[in-house]
Amino acid sequence: MPPPLGPGRPRSQRPSGPSPEEACPKRALCTLTPAAALRAGPGPPACTERPVASTPMCVVCFVKALVHVFKIYLTANYTYNFRSWPVDFRWDDVRAAAVGGSGHRALTCAAAAAGVWLLRGAALGGDAPGRPPRGARSQAQCLLQQIRELPGQLASYALAHSLGRWLLYPGSMFLMTRALLPLLQQGQERLVERYRGRRAKLVACDGNEIDTMFMDRRQHPGSHGHGLRLVICCEGNAGFYEMGCLSAPLEAGYSVLGWNHPGFGGSTGAPFPQHDANAMDVVIKYALHRLRFSPAHVVVYGWSIGGFTATWATMTYPELGALVLDATFDDLVPLALKVMPHSWKGLVVRTVREHFNLNVAEQLCRYPGPVLLLRRTQDDVVSTSGHLRPLPSGDVEGNRGNELLLRLLQHRYPSVMVREGLAVVTRWLRVGSLAQEAAFYARYRVDDEWCLALLRSYRARCEDEQEDEEAWGPHGLPFPWLAGQGLSPRRRRQLALFLARKHLKNVEATHCSPLEPEDFQLPWRL
C-alpha cells in the first residue's frame, strides 16, 4: 500500500473537492468535522471541543468524512508519489512475453541500449549535395572539414539543448508543469473515476520512465464494437494525456492508451526525437504484450508534433491496424524557419536536422496500412502562410498537411499523381471550406463506384499474378500501386480526387481546439 498523505503536505497540493460538511443535516451535533479530520492526518479521528461535547458524530457525517479523507489520501498519493511507484512494464519484458506464446513478428527485434532505430537522411551525417563523396576525400580534408564545422556544431548543440527544446516542447518546462498541475490533477481524477483508467509506469530502453493511462472498454464495446479497438494517443508539444487529444476517441467509445512525452508530467527524461521513439517503442510493446491487443486492432492517433512518434510506430510496427494524423506536418524545417530570424537560417536548419529531425512524411510513406489525415481549416500553427500574423478564415494553402498528403499519394499511387492528377489535387487542397470542397468534387463528376472498381480489380489482378503470399505485407498488396496507367486525363483527375478525399478530411477548427468525438474516424479501407 502507498504511504498515506501526511499532515505536513502543503494545502496547495491537496486535491480540491466538495466538503461533505456542508451536506450534513446534523453538523451542529457533530464533534468532529471533516476539515478537522483532514487536519488530524492519518490515524483514528479525534474529537474537537464544542458546547455539545457529549453528542457523538452523526453516522452520515462520519461516513462522508471518511470517504472525503480517503479520496484526498488516494488522489494525493496518486499524483505526487508516481516516482516511487513500482515498474509495471519494461521494454525488455517482451522476451518473457514471447515465451508465453506471443506471435507478434515485429516485436522480436532487439533494442540497443543506445535507443531504437531512427530514419537518418543525408542531412544527418551523410554526404551533402555538392560535397565530394567520403571515399574521394583524403583524411586531411576530412579533418579540416570537421574542424571548420566544429563551431557550428557547438552552436547547434547549445541552441538545441536550451532555447530550441523549450520552444519545440514547452510542455517539458518545469514552470508550465507547475502552472498546469491543478488541471492535470483534475484530468487524472476524471479518467480514473469516470472511465476507470489504470495508470502504469513503463521503462524505456534508455531508462526513462513513461507515465501512461489506460481506459479499457473491451467489456462494454458498444453497438459498433469501438471498445474492442485500442487507440494509442500521441500528444502535441504542450499536451498531456490528462487533458490532451485522447478525449475524442475516449468519448467516441474506443479503448484508449495515453502516454506523456519524456519530461512531461510523470515521465522522466527530455523530449528529443530519440527519447520519444524509445518511449513509443515501450508503449507499443506494453499494448500488445501486457494489454493483449491484437496488432490489427491497434490504431495510432497523433496530434500535432505527436505525428512524429505516431508515424515512427507504424513504420516500425507495420502490422498495426491504422494511423490517424491530426493537425500535423510533413517536416519541421519550414515551420522552424517561419518563427526564427532569417539571419539564423543556416543554424536553424542544422539544429533541426541534427537534433530535431521530425521527418514525418518520410516515416509515413513507410507504413503500408490505412491512413487518415485530419486538416484543420483554421490552423495557423502548422501553416507557413501569413508568417506570425493570424490566418484569414479558410486560408489552408500553406498548411503543411497538404505536403503530407501529396507525399503519401505520390508514394502509393505514382501513376495517378502525375501531371493532371497532381495538379487537380493541389488545387483541391486550396479549398478552405466543406461546401467549397463538395462543389469542387462535384464539378469533376467523380464516380466513386468506378474508382473503387478500378482499384479492386487492380489489387485482385496483382494478387493472382503474385503467387508468393509471403511477399505480401501485413495489409495485403504492398505499395506502390501502378493502378491508373493508361487512363485518360479526365479519368486520372477523377481517380486522384477520389484518393485525396479518402485520405484527408477537413475539420473546421483551430490547431488547439479539442477534436469532436464525431470527427474522430477510422481511415478508409479498400
What pLDDT does residue 102 have? Answer: 39
Q: pLDDT tens, 369-408?
A: 999 999 999 999 999 876 545 556 668 999 999 999 999 9
Cβ contact 98:227 at 8 Å: no
**Cβ pair 328, 507 in contact under 8 A:** no
Cα–Cα distance for residue pair 377/386, rounded to 1 Å: 14
The pLDDT value recorded for residue 162 is 86
How much is the pLDDT for 60?
Answer: 64
The pLDDT of 417-421, averaged and rounded, is 93
Q: Which residue has the higher pLDDT, 213 or 62?
A: 213
What is the reported pLDDT for 59? 61
The pLDDT-based confidence of 80 (bands split at 50, 70, 90) is low
Q: Which of 261, 275, 475, 503 is catalytic?
A: 475
Question: Which is the catalytic residue, given 68, 304, 331, 355?
Answer: 304
d(CA 517, CA 521): 8
- Residue count of the chain, please give it: 526
Q: What's the grid cell of residue 502?
A: 479518402
Active site residue 475: yes
- Which of 177-181, 351-355, 459-463 is least confident? 177-181
- The catalytic position among 211, 379, 380, 395 is 379
The whole-chain average pLDDT of the chain stands at 81
Is the pLDDT assigned to residue 419 strictly greater than 50? yes
Q: Given CA atoms 409, 411, 417, 423 in this order, what sign does their dihedral have?
A: positive
Measured CA distances, 477 to 417, 480, 500 (Å)? 19, 9, 20
Active site residue 447: no
pLDDT in tens, 501-522: 999 999 999 999 999 999 999 9
Q: What is the DSSP letter of 359?
A: -
Is 319 a residue whose pLDDT tops 50?
A: yes
pTM (2 decimals)? 0.79
pLDDT score at 91: 94
Could you confirm whether 343 is annotated as catalytic?
A: no
pLDDT at 16 over 90: no
